[in-house]
Structure 1
Amino acid sequence: MLINNRFEVDLVRSKVTDRDTGDQTRLEPRLMKLLCLLIENHERLVTRPLIIKEVWDDYPGGEEGLNQAISGLRKLLHDEQKQLIETLPKKGYCFHGVLSDNIPAAKRKLFKPVYVAGILLLVILTVFTFLFYRTSRNSYTNQSSTEEHIRLFKIDSARQAEKLKK
């Protein structure tokens, strides 16, 4: 997700990347939950009691925690004018950022065709090596198995003869 075409939000890794500076910030779970709650209610009032219930599970210190969390999000999103996260006194907060779900293809980390071709070549070579080894081993085993059995039989017979002499 992208906020104001600048802040890339990675919900899975709880990370926000500022595309202008390249800074990456990992958010603690409560901050990420608060950011998600504000984004889900884009352009609508999110009341303080609802935030404290959803994010702080009605924890008694939730009021102070909420104030600090909003301050932290504003700092992270460079919202000094408090326009992105608007405070509605004694009511709650309203998120006004421009949201987009699509991240340009240039930013996505896809396998390059050269790497895919290299991996495919490596897999093919591995398969051929395995098949060659298996085939050559089987043919060697079949040719020498009779000779090997005879040799082992002679050795075993000689050992038994020595035991009998003792």
Structure 2
Amino acid sequence: MFKMPKIKVPEVKVPEVKMPEIKVPEGFTGYRSNKDERKAQVEVGPPPWTLAWADDISETDALAGVVAAGVSIATANPGPFLVWIEELLRSTIETLKASAADKFPAEIQNDMKAFAADAIRLAISGKNPSEAAKAYDTIDFKAGAIKYEGENVALGQVISRTWGMKPYVGFRLR
């Protein structure tokens, strides 16, 4: 059997390296917007409004519409753009209905659904959504969308700016 000879390894000293102190910039990191302030402006009264809010429509939704419009133009087929409009309308109405179910008394939910659909169709076609207003005795209705701005921030520095719209329908009793 082979025996390894003993080898003496000299001791090596590694000099101490002092790392420089790294200062991380201070400041907010995350997303901030003026959406809550804009929503509060719509809710004021007297008497205050009860509102149902749809999901946000943002710049990414608008970009999907631009792409759909481009496809429609390139193919001389309005189908992709019309599908985008219908899907946006459908999802907006669905989220308004869900919000209304949580907020509005059951007896006016059907009227609110019809009113919301009429107002959104008018708004998408470029008309004033208030034209959809109906006489509902002692209940006032309104519909619209707030537009808000936001920004993504890292360590106090704005990385990108955003925008969004949040459709709503509301009622109040007089």
Same fold, judged at TM 0.5 (above): no
**Between structures 1 and 2, the one with greater strand share:** 2
Structure with bigger gyration radius: 1
Higher relative contact order (CA 8 A, sep 6+): 2
**TM-score, normalized by length of structure 1?**
0.26
**TM-score, normalized by length of structure 2?**
0.25
**Between structures 1 and 2, the one with greater helix share:** 1
